[in-house]
């Protein structure tokens, strides 16, 4: 057996991790913040991330896996650089969200949950209301809101994302900053 | 008496996320007053006397909730429910992104009142901008001595931790929220015991909604009498209504509790588009039974809406005009509930997906003759036999529309056709 290598975010963000854990009366409570942090570092949660989080909070990896599967914002598979999420709850549907979803599937040639072959974009359609119904139909791009969407506006958004990712051959444009704990 | 907005005053004109601006508007004066002049019990009494009822959905009196905590020396926690995810609701996000100090002040006041050792804001995972705003505001409040150790020299300590959720509607239910905050799957648990007795880490815990807590500084600053002077006797105070759907100006409208539904829709939200009529209204989010055009004079407060057969819930008013296919609307909501059931209880897990499947095929024109009877019998089998109210709530709209709009379901099943054609209005 080879010696297990420490996961890079655990080393690089050691102090932040300690502070995070110390915010709570019990270590277990830090599981979501640490999963957010790990996912921010890699873009998704690899097995070694799950194991590292489990060790940090004193759970088994399978417990952490069970937690990850409960939450729709946590992912076990690699994702596109941008995640585009379309709200499909009632106020958005009343404003044309289904036609918008149809348009995007065709334009991107992928189904919800899939990523474009160039790795630019993961498409999601959510039944959860995104709490911005006065701007229906609503889209989130890496959790940033775009409201009153139309097929034309969505096309322009796609163009902008493509341009941004080409420009920033340097790592992480602003929208990639999930900021998050 | 013209009504002056309370919770949303200044939003859109001032940058209230800046501590200096908030203070210039009188911000943190209620906290200074409470820590200098009032005992914790006095603050509880003021909130009790104000008649403030919870704005998260259930309308439970806040002061009463705070008085339930057993006095047994165990540490107490305060949790702010900022998971806002009831379909149609977008008021808490407004308060978080644009008025974070009002919320922080409310949290510190509530924590002082119940003598909590720590406070948590359970923030919906999708609210990334809200997370940034809250972190910035908290840092400012800490630097200014409003949060942290020995607040304003009073000897009262309070840390506030912002805890991001990760995408799960059920974490808005308070026991699901606490499970999630303790580091588990966000699965609700049976009540009793209530969080007041055995909440976070098994300790006495108060869970209050963002809007509820945002009312507290105003009650302390201006007094319970002032609060009671707004709105009806049994549901006093200002209320933010999130209006969505087929109105000309969807948005958040802060008005006195008890404003008539018609006034909200026609005077504030700009009415409907030309030639359209109200078909149905969900007055309290996706979990609320439908009201119809016959209910337009219903005052929007907890008791009046309940009397009319629905619930005020979070105050999310979804308006459906006469171009709406009711079957489609029911299907869209059913899909949501089927996707979000946490799955612990069989009647809920199986019931929600069964309802969605049946509505899906009826909507697609492939309904079977027996489907209507099955739909009518399912709510009874799903209600009252589960850990949390989700199962019951998931069929609120369906049950009410099976009564008010049965002919639409029948038309879909018998003729495979929709009377209205499209839910989407141009
Ligand atoms: C299925 C379900 C979802 C809920 N979602 C929310 C929510 O998103 N936000 C909220 O404040 N309360 C929500 N609640 C109500 C909470 O359980 C709880 O009653 C509330 O946070 C208490 O605060 P309040 O008394 O200040 O209203 C939900 C309840 C249920 C049953
Ligand atoms: S009623 Fe539904 S959501 Fe609530 S605990 Fe049971 S399965 Fe979960
Ligand atoms: S329904 Fe889409 S944001 Fe509320």
Residue B251: pLDDT band with limits 50, 70, 90: very high
Long-range (24+ apart) CB contacts under 8 A made by B351-359 are B351/B378, B351/B381, B351/B382, B351/B391, B351/B394, B351/B395, B352/B382, B352/B391, B352/B394, B354/B378, B355/B394, B355/B395, B355/B398, B356/B331, B359/B327, B359/B330, B359/B331, B359/B334, B359/B398
Q: Is the CB of B171 under 6 A from ligand 2?
A: no
* Mean pLDDT of all residues in B296-314: 97
Orientation of helix B29-37 relative to helix B210-222, angle to 10°: 70
Q: How far apart are CA B345 and CA B381, in angstroms?
A: 12
Would you identify the CATH topology of the domain A82-169? Answer: Glutaredoxin (3.40.30)
Strand-pair category, B251-256 with B238-245: antiparallel
Chain position carrying tokens 């304003």: B152
- How confident is the model over B322-345, as pLDDT tens digits? 999 999 999 999 999 999 999 999
Q: Which two tokens stand for residue B257?
A: 């509790």
Among B47, B110, B123, B174, which residue has the most ligand 1 atoms within 8 Å of its CB, making it the best to mutate? B174
Asked whether B175 and B189 are in contact (CB, 8 A), the reply is yes
Cβ-based neighbour number of residue B322 at 10 Å: 15
Please state, in angstroms and rounded to a whole number, the distance separating the CA atoms of residues B267 and B276.
16
| Distance between CA atoms of residues B26 and B102, nearest Å | 10
How many Å apart are CA B244 and CA A132, to the nearest integer? 9
Average pLDDT on B59-63 reads: 98
> Which DSSP string corresponds to B219-266?
HHHH-HHHHHTSS-TTS-SEEEEEEEESSSS-EEEEEETT-BHHIIII
Q: What's the start-to-end Cα distance of chain A, in Å?
A: 34
* Residue B419: pLDDT over 60: yes
For the segment A23-82, what is each residue's pLDDT rounded down to a tens digit? 999 999 999 999 999 999 999 999 999 999 999 999 999 999 999 999 999 999 999 999
Most ligand 3 atoms within 8 A of CB, residue of A95, A138, A145, A148 to mutate: A138
Neighbours of B98 (CB within 10 A): 18
B186 contacts A94 by C-beta, under 8 angstroms: no
Q: Which structure tokens are listed for B122?
A: 């359970």
Q: What is the mean pLDDT of residues A131-150?
A: 98
Please tell me the pTM assigned to this model.
0.96
List of chain A residues whose C-beta atoms are within 8 Å of the C-beta of residue B75: 25
**DSSP β-ladder status, B159-164 and B118-123:** parallel
Q: How far apart are the C-alpha atoms of B390 and B386, rounded to whole Å? A: 8
Distance B351 CA to ligand 2 centre (A): 11
Centre a 10 Å sphere on the Cβ of residue B202 and count the other Cβ atoms it contains: 12
Three-point CA angle B244, B247, B252, nearest 5°: 45
Cα–ligand 1 centroid distance for B215 (angstroms): 16
- Top-level class of domain B19-228: alpha beta
Q: What is the average per-residue pLDDT within B102-117? A: 98
Cβ within 8 Å of B, A 83-122: 88-91, 93-96, 98-99
Q: Answer whether B127 sits within 8 Å of A131, measured CB to CB.
A: yes
pLDDT tens figures, B339-388: 999 999 999 999 999 999 999 999 999 999 999 999 999 999 998 789 99
- CA-nearest residue of chain A to B329? A90
- Is the Cβ pair A133, B88 closer than 8 Å? yes
Interface contact flag, A133 B244, Cβ < 8 Å:
yes
- The radius of gyration computed from the CA coordinates of chain B, to the nearest angstrom, equals 22
CA–centroid distance, A129 to ligand 3, in Å, is 4
Closest-CA distance of chain A to residue B79, Å: 13
DSSP string covering A75-138: -SS---SEEEEEE-SHHHHHTTHHHHHHHHHHHHT--TT-B-TTSSEEEEEESS--S-GGG-S-
Confirm if B206 and B76 have CB atoms less than 8 A apart. yes
For the Cβ of B83 lying below 6 angstroms from any atom of ligand 1, the answer is yes
pLDDT at position B1 over 70: no
Enumerate residues 6+ apart whose C-beta is below 8 A from A18: none
Angle separating helix axes B100-114 and B29-37, nearest 10 degrees = 10
The mean of the pLDDT values for chain B is: 96
In chain A, which among 3-62 make CB contacts under 8 A with chain B? 23-33, 35-36, 57, 59
Measure CB to CB from residue A94 to each of B162, B245, B335 and give the nearest one. B245
Q: Do A89 and B286 touch (CB under 8 A)?
A: yes
Q: What is the ipTM of this complex?
A: 0.95
Domain positions in chain B are 19-228, 241-321, 326-425
Q: Is the pLDDT of residue B425 over 70?
A: no
Tell me which H or E stretch contains B317.
strand B316-321
CB neighbour burial string for B363-383, b if at least 16 within 10 angstroms, e if fewer: beeebeeebbeebeebbeebb
Which residues are within 8 A (CB) of B295 and not within 5 positions of it... i.e. 6 or more apart? B261, B281, B308
Nearest-CA residue of chain B relative to A30? B183
Of A20, A52, A18, A16, the closest CA to residue A33 belongs to: A20
| Cβ–Cβ contact A66 with B under 8 A | yes
Mutate to test the pocket of ligand 3, among A129, A139, A140, A148 (most ligand atoms within 8 A of CB): A129
Contact partners, residue B228, CB within 8 Å, separation at least 6: B49, B50, B51, B236, B237
Interfacial A residues in 147-176 facing B (CB < 8 Å): none
Cross-strand pairs, A122: A83, A115
Q: CATH fold of A8-70, please?
A: Arc Repressor Mutant, subunit A (1.10.10)
Tell me how close the Cα of A132 comes to any Cα of chain B, in angstroms. 6
Residue A176 has pLDDT above 50, yes or no: no
What single string gives the DSSP state of each residue in A57-77? HT--HHHHHHHHHH-TT--SS
Interface contact B336-A129, CB threshold 8 A: yes
CB contact under 8 A, A73 and B201: no
Q: What confidence tens digit (pLDDT) does each residue in A105-130 have?
A: 999 999 999 999 999 999 999 999 99
Q: In which region does residue B51 sit, left (phi positive, over 0), alpha (psi from -120 to 50) or beta (all else)?
A: left
Nearest CA in chain B to A137: B245
- What's the Cα-to-Cα distance from B148 to each of A27, B22, B38, B151, B201, rounded to whole Å? 21, 19, 19, 6, 21
Decide if B286 and A181 are in contact by the 8 Å CB cutoff. Answer: no
SS3 A158: helix
CA A17 to CA B219: how far, in whole Å?
Answer: 39
CATH number of the domain at B241-321, please? 3.10.20.600
Amino acid B421: pLDDT: 62
Ligand 3 atom closest to residue B90's alpha carbon, by position in its atom list: 4
For B136, the enclosing helix (H) or strand (E) is helix B128-143
Q: What is the pLDDT of residue A4?
A: 63
On the question of pLDDT at B200 being above 50, the answer is yes
Note the CATH number of domain B326-425. Answer: 1.20.1440.230
């Amino acid at each position: 057996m080879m010696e297990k290598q420490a996961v890079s975010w655990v080393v690089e963000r050691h102090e932040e991790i300690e502070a995070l854990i110390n915010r709570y009366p019990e270590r277990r409570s830090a599981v979501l913040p640490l999963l957010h942090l790990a996912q921010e570092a890699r873009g998704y949660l690899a097995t070694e991330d799950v194991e590292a989080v489990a060790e940090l909070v004193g759970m088994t990896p399978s417990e952490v896996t069970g937690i990850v599967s409960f939450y729709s914002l946590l992912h076990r598979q690699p994702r596109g650089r941008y995640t585009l999420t379309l709200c499909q709850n009632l106020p958005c549907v009343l404003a044309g969200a289904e036609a918008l979803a149809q348009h995007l599937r065709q334009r991107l040639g992928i189904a919800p949950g899939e990523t474009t072959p160039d790795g630019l974009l993961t498409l999601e359609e959510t039944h959860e209301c995104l709490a911005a119904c006065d701007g229906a139909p609503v889209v989130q791009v890496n959790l940033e809101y775009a409201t009153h969407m139309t097929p034309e506006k969505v096309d322009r958004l796609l163009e902008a994302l493509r341009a941004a990712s080409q420009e920033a051959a340097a790592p992480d444009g602003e929208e990639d900053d999930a900021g998050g704990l | 008496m013209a009504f002056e907005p309370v919770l949303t005053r200044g939003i859109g004109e001032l940058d209230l996320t800046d501590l200096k601006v908030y203070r210039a508007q009188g911000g943190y004066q209620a906290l200074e007053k409470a820590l200098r002049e009032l005992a914790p019990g006095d603050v509880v009494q003021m909130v009790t006397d104000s008649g403030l009822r919870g704005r998260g959905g259930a309308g439970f009196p806040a002061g009463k909730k705070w008085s339930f905590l057993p006095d047994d020396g165990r540490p107490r926690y305060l949790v702010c429910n900022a998971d806002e995810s009831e379909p149609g609701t977008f008021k808490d996000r407004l308060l978080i992104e644009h008025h974070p100090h009002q919320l922080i002040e409310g949290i510190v006041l509530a924590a002082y009142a119940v003598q909590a050792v720590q406070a948590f804001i359970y923030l919906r995972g999708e609210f990334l901008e809200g997370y940034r705003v809250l972190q910035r505001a908290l840092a400012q409040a800490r630097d200014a001595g409003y949060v942290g150790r020995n607040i304003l020299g009073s000897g009262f300590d309070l840390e506030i931790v912002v805890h991001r959720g990760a995408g799960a509607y059920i974490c808005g239910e308070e026991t699901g929220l606490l499970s999630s905050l303790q580091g588990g799957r966000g699965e609700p648990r049976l009540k009793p015991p209530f969080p007041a007795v055995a909440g976070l880490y098994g300790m006495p815990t108060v869970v209050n909604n963002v809007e509820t807590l945002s009312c507290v500084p105003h009650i302390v600053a201006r007094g319970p009498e002032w609060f009671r002077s707004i709105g009806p006797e049994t549901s006093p105070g200002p209320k933010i209504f999130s209006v969505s759907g087929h109105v000309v100006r969807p948005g958040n409208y802060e008005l006195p509790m008890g404003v008539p539904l018609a006034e909200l829709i026609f005077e504030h939200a700009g009415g409907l588009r030309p030639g359209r009529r109200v078909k149905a209204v969900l007055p309290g989010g996706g979990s609320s039974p439908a009201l119809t055009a016959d209910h337009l004079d219903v005052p929007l407060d907890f008791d009046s809406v309940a009397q009319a057969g629905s619930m005020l819930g979070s105050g999310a008013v979804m308006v459906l005009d006469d171009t709406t296919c009711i079957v489609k609307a029911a299907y869209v909501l059913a899909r949501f509930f089927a996707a979000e059931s946490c799955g612990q209880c069989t009647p809920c897990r199986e019931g929600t997906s069964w309802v969605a499947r049946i509505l899906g095929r009826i909507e697609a024109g492939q309904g079977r003759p027996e489907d209507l009877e099955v739909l009518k019998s399912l709510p009874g089998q799903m209600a009252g036999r589960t850990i949390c109210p989700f199962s019951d709530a998931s069929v609120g709209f369906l049950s009410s529309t099976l009564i008010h709009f049965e002919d639409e379901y029948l038309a879909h099943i018998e003729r495979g056709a929709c009377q209205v054609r499209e839910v989407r209005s141009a």
